[in-house]
Amino acid sequence: MGTTVSFKRPDGKELQGYLAQPAQAAGAPAVVVIQEWWGLNDQIRGVAERLAQAGYLALVPDLYRGKMTVEKEEAHHLMSGLDFGDAATQDVRGAIQYLKTRSAKVGCVGFCMGGALTLLAAANDPELDAAVTWYGCPPLEYIDASKIKIPLQGHWATQDQFFPIAQVEGLTTKLKEAGVDFDFHRYLAHHAFGNEQAVGPGRIAETHYDPVWAQQAWDRTFTFFARHLR
């Protein structure tokens, strides 16, 4: 099981996170894991553990400072109160810098809200070596694709009502024009198809976990990280 750790942001403020360690931690590559809008819950800890079992140091920064929810309305409220620019350039970058003291290469993977933050981190955090976004994208005007110098992978749901596939088309165009090395995959699925806990009373009724597509996306994610972080 993982542990709670404290680390510093670039501005010196302290932040906590959940760190999952592989059996052979010495010299292992590392990955920052960015939460969905629910917070640092058991599901996202499970993602970190999955990466640790595959041989990666995995750190989930606590963007909501201890708050979490299973209610859609409260999740929206928590996400709306998050300063995305500060989260990407301070919280996430602090997590990357913390992992860089232990690993030569650090990747980032994020889901939903965390996927949007992953794209912002790819453009703004120079210590990052590779990034994977799962069904999450910020408004395109916030992405300066010319600043993305690392390999990027994306997993998108064609039936996504939160991040429409048309937005992904726009992102694809921006990345191509900037010459970014990216690898996008589309799945005939709904938003959060990789979250096995997303469906339930009071949660996002529009999401549907799809174990088949989720496994394929994970296989691609691990292949990508193995290529660029090991």
CATH code assigned at 48: 3.40.50.1820
User: Residue 12 contacts by C-beta under 8 Å, 6 or more apart in sequence?
Assistant: none
Q: What confidence tier does 199 reach under pLDDT thresholds 50, 70, 90?
A: low
Q: What confidence tier does 205 reach under pLDDT thresholds 50, 70, 90?
A: very low
Residue 204 has pLDDT above 60, yes or no: no
Number of domains in the chain: 1
Residue 178 has pLDDT above 50, yes or no: yes
Q: Write down the mean pLDDT value for the chain.
A: 94
Chain segment 19-75, per-residue pLDDT in tens: 999 999 999 999 999 999 999 999 999 999 999 999 999 999 999 999 999 888 899
Cα–Cα distance measured from residue 31 to residue 195, given in angstroms and rounded to the nearest whole number: 18
Range of 149's domain?
Answer: 3-229
Cα–Cα distance measured from residue 48 to residue 166, given in angstroms and rounded to the nearest whole number: 30
Question: Pick from 88, 129, 127, 90: which is nearest to 110 by CA?
Answer: 88
Look up the pTM and report it.
Answer: 0.96
pLDDT at site 7: 98
Cβ atoms of 54 and 222 closer than 8 Å: yes
Q: In what order do the strands lie in the sheet with 57-61?
A: 3-8, 14-20, 57-61, 30-34, 106-111, 130-134, 152-157, 182-187
